[in-house]
Amino acid sequence: LEIGFGGGEHIAAQARQNPDVNLIGCEPFVNGIASLLDEIDRDNIGNIRIFADDARTLLDALPDASIGRCFILFPDPWPKTRHNRRRFITGENLDSLARVMKDGAELRLASDHMEYVRWMLFHTLGHGAFEWTARGPADWRNRPVDAPQTRYEEKALVRGERCAYLSFRRKTGR
């Protein structure tokens, strides 16, 4: 599951690398959907399904323990304090993710907005259903080897921003 797939470059790469895995991409914006559909058509990718609406609606409909990996990469940080309630990483959404993710499933988050990185760490570590897999700084400073660079990441790097890559594991029985 990729929530907010943007232009679709990451989910398309994951689909090509894992042809026997079915992927769901959530994206409410038409331009991102069109971009991914072009890539699916061009490369004849058959293992992606698109949910063109709010991811919370999909999470409510998914069965328990049905997701093996979830990606939330470079989400809108909603940097103004009055907009923090719009951030996707919240206790309520983490409850939903914990319900639909299998024991041991990976939750991968990334951002170039360090205040939002702190927010994601605070909320995810405090949730109880997820454990951070990092063992040292390289684990959050370096993009995972199976992850292509997204256009949002590329823009951040061009601006001279640092990016953080957070990986969590869904705890067993929580």
Ranges of residues in the chain with a pLDDT under 50 are none
Task: Report CA torsion sign: 149, 153, 159, 160.
Answer: negative
pLDDT for the residue 85: 81
CA distances 7 to 30, 121, 165, 174, Å, are 10, 25, 19, 33
103 is catalytic: no
- For every residue of 78-117, DSSP letters joined together read --SGGGGGG-S-SHHHHHHHHHHEEEEEEEEEEES-HHHH
pLDDT for the residue 125: 96
Marked catalytic residue, from 38, 60, 76, 146: 76
**CA 138 to CA 156: how far, in whole Å?**
19
DSSP 8-state secondary structure symbol assigned to residue 136: S
Tokens for 44, please give them: 């004849």
pLDDT for the residue 84: 75
